Amino acid sequence: MNASAVELTEQTHRRGGGRLGRKALRSAPIASFPTLVRKIPVYQMVPDEAVELIHEESLKILEEVGCEFRDDGAIELWKAAGADVRETRVRIDRALLMELVSKVPSEFTLHARNPERTVRVGGKNSIFVPMYGAPYVRDLDNNRRYGTLADLNNFHKMAYMAPALHSSSSVICEPMEIAVPKRHLHIIHSALKHSDKPFMGIVTSKERAEDTMAMAGIVFGEEFVRDNPVLVAITNCNSPLVWDATMIDAMRVYASHNQPLILAPFALCGASTSASAVGAVAQVNAEALAGVALTQLIRPGSPQLYGQFMVTVDMKTGAPMGGTPEAAQMMYLMGALARKYRLPWRTSGFHVGSKLNDAQAGYEIEHAHACRDPIGRQLHLAFRRMAGSRAHLRLFEIRHRLRAACRLVQICRRAVLRRFQGSDGGDPRGRAAGPFPRHPAHARTFRVRLLHALDHGLQFLRTVERRRGEGPRHARPRESAQHARRLRGAEAR
């Protein structure tokens, strides 16, 4: 056999894996999804009239109560713009406010070190960014501990390798072993070294923001970063209605360089805002609009992002709670307001109360991202008081709640039937999986009773829904009161 035949045979029969396969895989270019363009309708949780009512309440807050700007430079800018300034309290006329907000572009390009990773922000575009600011990490040994610089490096590498992520963020976790005065340098260095995607800036002081821009200038060029967005920084308003000097210093540095900021009030709803979901949204919207307007005083036309961070508070302990239905509802309301103002919008997914990656976390994430039916009635009660259409919205709410309950019961019934597929009520080995009874006779009895209870509950819910849809038929006042008491009891059950 000649040499060419031997070479051909070796090429034909060589395995695809092994050392050469791994080398080829490592040397292959890293795939990355382009900017996602939404082609599906947005979820409109409330009608446009309700969004307009919230907008009006936010304007009233800024006109009558005002917002504090605890920075002398910001106060001078507001005085020059014609706002009503009394010490650090600024009351902003609605015409002035909306004129400034309208200067923000609805879309902008966020440049990456690798031009192939450049993304478009705003409009119908969606990008995904890793989380920001975790003090703890959970390692592969299931130990919860403080983050380190090595952890941060790994997170930036994974963000770079993940095709679905469009940015490497910056403070995915805090490198706690690095001294605070120079920690930001290591964070930005890691983001720039281990990823060529867009990143996020540091906002904890004016000097650190300037250092971030200097490091970006080394990579992109000082002339380029003076006018082209290459990073995004996040600033938080201290609810209620306070923009402090630290955040304003960072806003001044980044906005003057035409770098976008996320103006995201940090609200613990029920503690730093009212307990009403609608009232909390009205306040947070006022705070965000005030921050957006200030950036346009610093540099008109600079790109900015409208944002929020809203979690509810446990009324018994005062602890913040993630993954609640109210947080998802408020997120949808803020999205509707962002569309009204034609502003790019940043929101948070994955706000969960679970401490592990478990079923509870998945359920709470589904709440935040789907939220198909109105859950909880505080939101609708507030809109009824504002709009005056109490009876119509009450009927709308009850029908949706009953339909959701019917679907839940049907899902539970199918789950029970799948769990007890055998004639003996258990698996082929005679045992029911999970917390169900293990003895065949006990499992059979449990199945019958559970299905009976589910069928009875489903029939009851459908009856209440049918009677609720019919409504009272010319009932006398006493009969109407009795009917109302029966319905309240049904709702409670």
Distance CA 472, CA 475 (A): 6
Report the run of H or E that residue 90 belongs to, with start and end. Answer: strand 89-91
Residue among 324, 296, 221, 307 at smallest CA distance from 262: 307
Question: Quick one: pLDDT at residue 391?
Answer: 41
Tokens of 89: 């309290």
| pLDDT one-digit tens code per residue, 306-317 | 998 888 888 778
| pLDDT one-digit tens code per residue, 467-476 | 555 444 444 4
Distance CA 42, CA 124 (A): 10
Distance CA 311, CA 326 (A): 8
- Strands in 248-322 per DSSP E: 261-263, 266-269, 305-307, 309-313, 320-321
The residue-averaged pLDDT of 323-335 equals 83
CA of residue 64 relative to chain centroid, distance: 30
Question: Quick one: pLDDT at residue 379?
Answer: 33
Q: Going by C-beta distance under 8 Å and a sequence separation of 6 or more, which residues neighbour residue 474?
A: none
> 0.75 cut: is pTM over it?
no
Q: How confident is the model at residue 120 (pLDDT cuts 50, 70, 90)?
A: very high
Distance CA 326, CA 322 (A): 10
Distance CA 296, CA 446 (A): 66
Residue among 403, 393, 232 at smallest CA distance from 304: 232
Residue among 172, 154, 148, 138 at smallest CA distance from 355: 138
The residue-averaged pLDDT of 423-433 equals 42
| pLDDT one-digit tens code per residue, 183-193 | 999 999 999 99
| pLDDT one-digit tens code per residue, 381-424 | 333 333 333 344 444 455 555 565 666 666 666 666 665 554 44
Instruction: Give me the percent of the chain exceeding a pLDDT of 90.
Output: 44
Number of neighbours of residue 165 by Cβ within 10 angstroms: 19
Report the run of H or E that residue 479 belongs to, with start and end. Answer: helix 477-492
Q: Which of 84-93, 232-241, 475-484 has the lowest mean pLDDT?
A: 475-484
Are the CB atoms for 298 and 252 separated by under 8 Å? yes
Are the CB atoms for 161 and 82 separated by under 8 Å? no
Distance CA 261, CA 138 (A): 30
